[in-house]
Structures are given as C-alpha cells and as structure tokens.
Amino acid sequence: MTVTHPIGDDMLLSYAAGNLSTAQDLMVATAVSLDDEARVRLSGFEAMGGALLDETEVAPLRDGAFEDVMSRIMGTAPDDTVHTDIKTGRTDCVLPKPLRDALGGDLNDVRWSSVGLGVKQAIIPTDDEGTARLLRIPAGQAMPDHGHGGMEVTLVLQGAFRDGDERFARGDVEMADDETEHMPVADLGEDCICLVVTDAPLRFNGLLPKLAQKFLKI
Amino acid sequence: MSFMPNDEAYWTNQLVAVGAERDRAAFESIFRHYAPRVKAFLIRTGLSPSAAEDCMQDVMVTVWRKAHLFDPGRASVATWLFTIARNRKIDIIRKARRPEPEELPWGPEPEPEQADVLALAQDSRRLAQAVAQLPPKQRDLVERAFFGDRTHSEIAADTGLPLGTIKSRIRLAIDRLRHAMENEVKKAVPVGLEPGNGVEDR
C-alpha cells in the first residue's frame, strides 16, 4: 500500500515524546499501523528520546532501590502474559489493532449513529478533552461542512475521498485547522470510513475558542 | 571481547544476557547505570521525585520481565528503556493502556545478525553525539519538545519566541538529526520492509 499523504513529523515527534492526548495517541498508533515508512520515522524519533535519556543527568535513587526492585521481581511469578505482546500478526481486519482495542471489535461491531445526510459516526471514548470518532460517508457524498475549533486530523480506513485536487485513500492523513477550507467528497464505489480526531495539544492557534466538534457531535 | 561500560554494545550484551539467561549481575549493572537516568528523565517530564522513583522502579521491573523481548537489531538499550519509561508514565497518569501501533506481522524473527546489532549500536552512538552537538538553541527546543510536557505555544510563552521561529528551529533540528541518523533509520527497518517489497495488509 502506498501512503501518499503520510502523518506529519510533528505528530510523530509528539507521540514519541509522549505529549499527545489519548485521542491523538490513537490517531498516531493507527496511522503508523498502516504506514511502514511512518513507523520508521517514529522509530527515529524514539531513538532521539533514547539519545536524550543517555545524555541526561542522573538523579539520586531512594535508599535500597535496587533491593526493592529485586524483591518485587523475585516475589512474583514470571509474568507469561508478556508473551502475548509478541507479534500477533496482522489480520484481515479493516481496523488496525489500536482502533479495534479502543472500540472493542472490528468494523462489524461498531455501533453507528446517524448525523444526517446518510453520514454516520461512532464516538470513541477518550479520557480527556480530545475527541475521536469514526465517520462513515456514503460513496459519492460530500462530508458535512464543519468548522475546526482546533486541529482536525482525518485518517482514511476504507474507501477514499477527494479534497480539491488531492485524493486520500486508506492510510492517508489529512490535517486541517481553523484556516483550512476543505470540502472532502467520498469516492464513488465504496463508503468512506475515516478516523477523525479533533484536539488541541498541537494547537499552534491555542488562543482561538473551541468552536469545535459541536457540529458533528449533533 | 571486552567493552567499556559507556559502549552501547556493552549495554546491549548486558540486556540480552538478562533476557536469555536471567543474568542478575547483568541486570544490576543496567540498573546502576540507567535507573538514575530514567528517574532524572521522568523528573524532567514533570513527575515529582517521589513519583519518578516509583515509576522508575516499575520500569526496571518491566525491564527484567520483558528483557527477552528486547530486539537489539531494532532499538538501542537507551531507546528501549526510553519507550518503556514513557509508556509507564502515561499509563500511570491515564490509568489506562496507551494505544501502540500494531506489531509487524512477520512472526518470530530469526536471531538478529550480529553485524546489524553492532551497526545499530554505532548509529545510536552517532545519534547521541549528534544530539549533543546540536547548537544550543536548537537542542534546547528539541529537549523541551521531548521533556517539557508542554505544547509549542506554551513553549512560545515561556521563551518569548514567536511560534513561527520555534517551529522552524525545531524543524531545523529535526533535519539535522535526521541527517545524522539516516543510517540508523535504515537499520530500524525490519527485515522484509525494504522499498519495493510490498506489504499487503488487507
């Protein structure tokens, strides 16, 4: 699969640093699952984190810290569950694993609610101010017009949409902020399903009020 | 073969020994070297010294338990520790598991080639040097992007620099680092992921 609109370095760097909201973490983890080149860039930013850790000063430890850790290690049975972390393998699922985990299932398990004009959405619970949701746009239809109270990131999971001259297909990411005027239209042939995250942690425009997501949250 | 303790390959061997043989002495050497750094890192990201100590201890317990999953062909010891510490801190704050990218589907991988491991260790070293040699202004901002739990606009308020300047300096720093770690990134591509080897995912 060729990703022509990959996720940006700023999001990957912030993910590597651990500075994103839950909703944006979900976006990056999902996008990286679909884009091996982004995975490589992410591992580069994580290596930067490792280099900074290597270079950092040292902090004095609590007395007996090593002994405390060893007694915790020896006091519990080896945790075999870690083995389930090992490469479980990609399946035929439409939704990458981070999304399946967040939703508790694949596409067939999603409980959609209608937001009008045939468009459906499913809100994905997150524990902070960001919002994450799946949107399902009928083939050939324009996405509802909406404003952005912050940054909106859209990742295509199924089908494709066009916005102006550009086409976004599975794995592609479109970024939009308050100033972006965009008019995405789903391609013919297949409903377009996207993960849409709106949030503020990268808010380069943090002074603007959160007009936000309200429209699509109807 | 003997290694100086500041040699990346030395730490790699120590961690592999923990994973393969449950080598307690190797674990202790990793602990003595890295635990104070992990704690300092956590403090820099905003934890109190006491919370950082608790989090660091969790991290070191995880290091013991997951050492067999460490793949020296894919990450340096410092990078692996960094990701564990970062994830643990976020999990503590959120009381929930952080979303991680799907694991790659190649199943159990063959033992990493010793040459790859050494090359990655050297590249990590080079990257660490590149980070150390960044001009102070760029380095400062990159560190804030990493260690400061702050948005770019908050950094702007903090430094009095206009946002555009901050973003372009960070961009510049990333470009320099990317240049320095081009080799390292190539090594990080798992076997079978070279360009042209199409990965089917549906």
- Over residues A50-84, the pLDDT tens digits come to 888 888 889 999 999 999 999 999 987 665 444 44
Give dist(CA A120, CA A105) in Å, integer: 17
Give dist(CA A169, CA A193) in Å, integer: 10
- The segment(s) of chain B belonging to CATH 1.10.10.10 are 112-189
Residue type, B135: P
Minimal Cβ distance to A58: which of B31, B40, B64: B40
- Per the model's pLDDT, the better-predicted residue between B13 and B93 turns out to be B13
Say if CB B18 and CB B60 are below 8 A apart: no
User: Which residues does residue A161 pair with via DSSP β-bridges, in sequence order?
Assistant: A168, A186
Q: Is A162 a residue whose pLDDT tops 70? A: yes
* CA triple B189-B145-B175, angle to 5 deg: 50
Chain A residues in contact with B59 by the CB 8 A cut-off are none
Maximum alpha-carbon separation in chain B: 53
Order of all β-strands in the sheet with A173-176:
A113-116, A119-124, A131-137, A192-199, A151-158, A173-176
> Yes or no: is domain B1-100 CATH 1.10.1740.10?
yes
> Yes or no: is domain A1-218 CATH 2.60.120.10?
yes
Say if CB B34 and CB B81 are below 8 A apart: yes
Burial of B7 (0-12, 13-18, 19+ CB in 10 A): middle
Give dist(CA A156, CA A174) in Å, integer: 9
Q: What pLDDT shows up at residue A49?
A: 87
Inter-chain residue contact B69 with A206, CB threshold 8 Å? no
Helix (H, G, I), strand (E, B) or coil at B73: coil
Alpha helices in A104-164 (DSSP H): none
pTM for this predicted structure: 0.76
Q: What pLDDT shows up at residue B173?
A: 65
pLDDT bin (cut points 50, 70, 90) of residue B178 is low
> Could you give the dihedral angle defined by the CA atoms of residues B79, B83, B89 and B92, in that order, rounded to the nearest 10 degrees?
-150
Q: What pLDDT shows up at residue A204?
A: 30
Chain A residues in contact with B200 by the CB 8 A cut-off are 1
ipTM over the 0.95 cut-off: no
For testing contact with chain A, the best of B98, B102, B177 (most A CBs within 10 A): B102
Chain A contact present for B178, CB below 8 A: yes
Q: Residue with structure tokens 């909201």? A: A21
Q: For chain A, which residues make up each domain, given as ranges? A: 1-218
Give dist(CA A185, CA A167) in Å, integer: 9
Chain A residues in contact with B201 by the CB 8 A cut-off are 1, 34, 90
Q: What pLDDT shows up at residue B169?
A: 63
Chain B contact present for A201, CB below 8 A: yes
At the topology level, CATH places domain B112-189 in Arc Repressor Mutant, subunit A (1.10.10)
Q: Is A128 a residue whose pLDDT tops 60? A: yes
Percent of chain B topping pLDDT 90: 32
Taking a contact as any Cβ pair under 8 Å apart, which residues of chain B between 82 and 121 contact chain A?
82-83, 85-87, 89-90, 94, 96-108
Minimal Cβ distance to B107: which of A69, A87, A203: A87
Kindly identify which residue of chain A lies nearest to residue B187, measuring between CA atoms. Answer: A40
Q: What pLDDT shows up at residue A182?
A: 74
Residue type, A102: A
Chain B contact present for A158, CB below 8 A: no
Q: What pLDDT shows up at residue A125?
A: 84
What length is written for chain B?
Answer: 202
How many beta-carbon pairs below 8 A join chains A and B? Answer: 229
Give dist(CA A135, CA A120) in Å, integer: 6
pLDDT bin (cut points 50, 70, 90) of residue B86 is very high
DSSP structural state of residue A142: B
For testing contact with chain B, the best of A10, A24, A35, A48 (most B CBs within 10 A): A48
